[in-house]
Amino acid sequence: MQNSLRTQILNKAFELLSKYPLCDNCLGRCFARLSLGHTNEERGKAIKLLLLMEIDRLIKEHEIEDISQLKEVLYNIGSHAVTLYQNYFNDNFQNRSCYICNNRINEYKEKFEEKALEKLEKGKTFVLGVKLTDELKRREERFMIENQLFYYESIKNEIKREVGKNLSKQGFIPDFDNPQVEIVYDIEYDVVIEFTRTTKYLAFYNRLSRGIPISSWVSKTGDSLESVLGTQTVAPYSESVDFRIIDDYPLIVENMAEKELHVKGFHILNTSKVSGKELSTIYTIKPIKRLYRVTIYSEQEIKDGIRIYDNLYDIFIEAKDFKELLSRLNGFIVISVDVISTYGKSELLADTYIKKAIQHT
Ligand SMILES: [Zn+2]
């Protein structure tokens, strides 16, 4: 064990500090993924102290020919090196600012926390974000790559992690997957921006009434499913407002709390939260074909139709969508239209999500 204890961390730290002045935080962050349970500031300070002891030993044992070579690295270590420096050199110690954060990382954390506290509401879950300046972002990336820092943690991550920890100690609830608000600190302008996160749900609906559309903007009377629900509602595909929909049609609803709803002739089943790729895929799904039941009035007998009463017939027509259906119904007196089912990926979508939702209840 003792023989395998090599001083790679110390060598790496010496190499870095020969080139760049680094504060305790930024040096510690270079080894952040080693020995968890400490702050980066503690890591950086520990490495610097060990390095100073090692440097002192080398000088005392006359292993360094020209000790003035050490000046640079001592300046770059910063205030912890002042006493040792004064022991060996007569000139003034040079104070340098951290190459990465310009000695401002703790100031960023304090300001972020202070401003986040002004925005956050107790009881609402949050996630934090940090917007670095372009210059800082580039400098950090180059630093990490050029020095091959495999255990590096980004400055952004350190700020988010530590401020988040302090906020949760004060009773605010972090939630990385489904936060209600996102609080982003913009370092350049020293401002905190709050975003309300909306959660989208995939629901399926049947419309057993006629004349009420999904979206408010297509509604002539002002009545719509969207206005009843009071939240943004988008249908990946739809039907003419006068058709009843017997099949399960998808609907993306924002922040829907109910599992099931009956309103204005709509039956809505909320199946699950959807986001990202899954959500964009759902928007692209359209049926290849739809099966309609059309009730028509005809004085002549309709051979393919089912006579339901006197001159009333039901006919079943497959069409790409309602526009194609309407063009094929030219010349008929149409009483009503119902959508019975769809074919293609739309069928699979409803089957999969509804089955999953029913299993979970
Ligand atoms: Zn720094």
- Cα 83 to ligand 1 centroid, rounded to whole Å: 21
Mean pLDDT of the chain, nearest integer: 91
Evaluate whether residue 356 is within a structural domain: no
User: What is this structure's pTM?
Assistant: 0.62
Backbone angles phi, psi at 299, to 5 degrees: -80, -20
Domain span including residue 234:
199-274
**Residues with beta carbon < 5 A to ion ligand 1?**
23, 26, 98, 100-101
- The C-alpha angle with vertex 88 and arms to 87 and 90, in degrees rounded to 5, equals 90
Show which of 175, 196, 217 is a domain's final residue. 196
For residue 100, give the nearest of 130, 144, 131 by alpha carbon.
144
> 127 with 166, same domain?
yes
Residue 194 to residues 124, 180, 276: CA-CA distances in angstroms?
Answer: 12, 10, 21
Strand 333-343 and strand 244-254: the pairing is parallel
Is residue 318 predicted with pLDDT exceeding 90?
yes
Show which of 29, 57, 88 is a domain's final residue. 88
Evaluate whether residue 279 is within a structural domain: no
Q: How confident is the model over 59-85, as pLDDT tens digits?
A: 999 999 999 999 999 999 999 999 999
Is residue 1 predicted with pLDDT exceeding 60?
no
Q: What is the pLDDT of residue 178?
A: 74
Evaluate whether residue 281 is within a structural domain: no
Number of alpha carbons in the 13 Å side-chain half-sphere of residue 61? 7
Backbone angles phi, psi at 19, to 5 degrees: -100, -35
User: For residue 330, what pLDDT band results from cuts at 50, 70 and 90?
Assistant: confident
Domain count, the chain: 3
Please report where in the chains the tokens 């959500």 appear, as a residue.
Answer: 279
Q: What is the pLDDT of residue 180?
A: 83
Please report which helix (H) or strand (E) contains residue 220, including its range. Answer: none
Mean pLDDT value across residues 154-178:
92
- Cα 157 to ligand 1 centroid, rounded to whole Å: 14
- Cα 6 to ligand 1 centroid, rounded to whole Å: 26
Share of the chain above pLDDT 70, in %: 97
Mean pLDDT value across residues 148-164:
95
Evaluate whether residue 282 is within a structural domain: no
- Cα 234 to ligand 1 centroid, rounded to whole Å: 47
Mean pLDDT value across residues 128-151:
95
Strand 260-263 and strand 266-274: the pairing is antiparallel
- Cα 58 to ligand 1 centroid, rounded to whole Å: 27
> 130 with 144, same domain?
yes
Q: Two tokens at 214?
A: 């999904």
Evaluate whether residue 84 is within a structural domain: yes
Q: How confident is the model over 19-45, as pLDDT tens digits?
A: 999 999 999 999 999 988 999 999 999
Q: How far apart are CA 129 and CA 71, in angstroms?
A: 39
- Cα 340 to ligand 1 centroid, rounded to whole Å: 65
Minimum mean pLDDT range among 133-142, 183-192, 193-202:
193-202
3-state SS class at 191: strand
Mean pLDDT value across residues 218-224:
74
- Cα 195 to ligand 1 centroid, rounded to whole Å: 29
Mean pLDDT value across residues 167-188:
90
Q: What is the pLDDT of residue 333?
A: 92
> 117 with 190, same domain?
yes
User: For residue 355, what pLDDT band results from cuts at 50, 70 and 90?
Assistant: confident
- Cα 184 to ligand 1 centroid, rounded to whole Å: 21
Q: For residue 124, give the DSSP letter.
A: S
- Cα 255 to ligand 1 centroid, rounded to whole Å: 41
- The answer to whether 200 and 275 are in contact (CB under 8 A) is yes
